[in-house]
Amino acid sequence: MRIAVLTGGGDAPGLNAAIRAVVRRALADNHEVVGVRNGWLGLLEGETVSLTRDSVSGTLPRGGTVLGTSRTNPFKVEDGPARMLQTLEQLGIHALIAIGGDDTLSVALKLHKMGVRVVGIPKTMDNDVPGTDYTIGFDTAVNVVMEACDRLHTTAEAHHRVMIIEVMGRDAGWVAGVGGLAGGADVILVPEVPFTLEEVCEVIRQRHARGRTFSIVVVAEGAKPSDFGVQITQDARVDEFGHVRLGGVGALLAREIEARTGHETRVTVLGHLQRGGSPTVFDRVLATRLGVAAVEAIEAGHFGVMVALRGTKIVTVSLEEALAGTSPLDLELYRLSRLFF
């Protein structure tokens, strides 16, 4: 068989580990692998590269994606679907592996409905894809958040300051919730749980009343202070999947906390640091298992599915299940983290 593979949407550490696993597992059964460059854009433009054992050698620890990625929505492009089908046909592709989050997988499902043999692999540092316990890139991202909390603790303590750490997480608070819990945050703010600026200030005042002289606040970029009722955006532009560019909730919190409590406050926006660098053990192993499982799903003739981690097992779930909304932060975990506020 000739199998195509692409990475779409925001990058996340572990993508190369997944591509490498696809290639190594496919070659083990003498299949050929074609890499599609820059996500769905490459399929529109016929930009592909043959992937060999050599081309994936040494890529396991590398962040980013050797194939490149984009946020292209091919269904927003004139003749997009037809152009993609033409590329697949011209290359004689038997099946396509799409590695991505909800946007990329939604295109995969549409293609599957048009008759393309598709298997999805869940990747996003947001960890918000339903049907899988974890997505590629999440573990590395929360390790970055944890380390940032550790580092900011020492400077916060030295200066008796409030430190706000703004992390990614548009609709789901997994990164803030898990990263903040591991980093010992004193306040964690996520899109799933409403809060007011006054409540946040009150937690900080109470900490100070107990004798603490500093506080660490982790806030997801998509967290909505009830005082405003909307997510804080950088500008009004939207991408091809309709997402606005979030950012600014950290700065807003810093201003309000300083004004209302009188405690000096600083903000750190972790941004794309959370998506860069070498994947953790967990992400390397998860990506490797999912890449292998995707080829095995193709060999077994299972299409329109996503390979997923459930408990300790790799399973397949339908792409419909994977696209049933957004998987929210486990609120039990959030309740637990509140114990430490």
Q: Given the rule CB under 6 A, which residues bind ligand F6P?
A: 9-10, 101, 124-126, 168-170, 221, 246
Least distance in Å: CB of 26 to ligand F6P?
27
CB of 173 to ligand F6P, least distance (A): 11
DSSP state for residue 213 in the 8-state scheme: -
Encoding tokens for residue 84? 């993609």
Nearer to ligand F6P among residue 35 and residue 137 (C-beta): 137
Query: Measured from the CB of residue 86, what is the shortest distance to ligand F6P in angstroms?
Result: 28
- Do the Cβ atoms of 118 and 128 come closer than 8 Å? no
Tell me the two tokens of residue 252: 């807003």
Catalytic residue among 11, 102, 103, 126: 126
- Whole-number Å distance between alpha carbons of 270 and 145: 8
Dihedral sign computed on CA atoms, order 254, 229, 10, 141: positive
Q: In what order do the strands lie in the sheet with 305-310?
A: 48-51, 32-36, 2-7, 95-100, 118-122, 305-310, 313-318
Instruction: Name the residue whose CB lies closest to ligand F6P.
Output: 168
102 as an active site residue: the answer is: no
Minimum CB separation of residue 255 from ligand F6P in Å reads 22
R_g of the chain, CA atoms, integer Å:
21
Q: How far is the CB of 318 from ligand F6P (least distance, A)?
A: 22
Indicate the residue among 51 and 136 with the shorter CB distance to ligand F6P.
136
From residue 224, alpha-carbon distances to 163, 173, 202, 287 in Å are 19, 11, 17, 32
Instruction: Please say which residue, 58 or 271, places its beta carbon nearer to ligand F6P.
Output: 271
**How many CB atoms sit inside 10 A of residue 226's CB?**
11
Q: How far is the CB of 106 from ligand F6P (least distance, A)?
A: 13
* CA–CA dist 32, 237 (Å, integer): 40
Rounded distance between C-alpha atoms, residue 308 and residue 281, angstroms: 17
For ligand F6P, the closer of residues 192 and 221 by Cβ is 221
State whether the Cα torsion 165-167-173-178 is positive or negative. Answer: negative
Q: Which is nearer to ligand F6P, 161 or 170 (CB)?
A: 170
Q: Return the number of the residue (55 or 326) whose C-beta is nearest ligand F6P.
A: 326
Phi, psi angles (nearest 5°) of residue 216: -115, 125
* Residues carrying an active site annotation: 126
